[in-house]
Amino acid sequence: MRDGVAEHREQLMESLRIYGGHYAELSRRFAAWLGLHSTDATAVLEIAAAEERGTPLSPARLSERISLSTGATTALLNRLEAAGHITRAREHSDRRIVTLRSGGHVQERADEFFGPLAHRLDSTMSHYPPRFLEQVEAFMADLNTTMDSHLTEQDAVTPGTPRTPDGRTP
């Protein structure tokens, strides 16, 4: 291993764990602020974020994103739709495909809650050159791809299957 890579990896992973904890706490506070269960708030945010990216979610894709069974996701969507937080639409030429959309107030509430943090993050990031931020973005994309691959490989192995320290099954 290159000099210092293991040490840098540990320091970076610790920073990412701390950031993850902050993200989880912020999500919990957003849910409480909306008066929702944290899973419901997470679903609302996933639906709204997908819309902003121009790739609205289907119920099946939401189920994958928030790690719920299809039955639990259906119950969650029923609650959110009854409360006016989301709508289910059949916008695709294949009418069997359901698209999830956030209620009009959701983006406003999310902007109200997360807006001050977004401004602070923008201010913090403005101190770094664009090329550095591009490198961090590429680094995070690589880390996410690595984690996704690892999780997919774990899904393929029966739970409880012994593994060697390098992740192989004996």
CATH class of residue range 5-125: mainly alpha
Domain extents in the chain? 5-125
User: Hey, which residues does 100 pair with through a beta bridge?
Assistant: 88
Angle at the Cα of 138 from the Cα atoms of 135 and 143, rounded to 5 degrees: 125
CA distance 102 to 86: 4
pLDDT tens for the chain, residues 1 to 170: 566 788 888 999 999 999 999 999 999 999 999 999 999 999 999 999 999 999 999 999 999 999 999 999 999 999 999 999 999 988 777 777 899 999 888 889 989 999 999 999 999 999 999 999 999 999 999 999 999 999 889 888 866 655 555 555 55
DSSP 8-state class, residue 83: T
User: Hey, which residues does 99 pair with through a beta bridge?
Assistant: 89
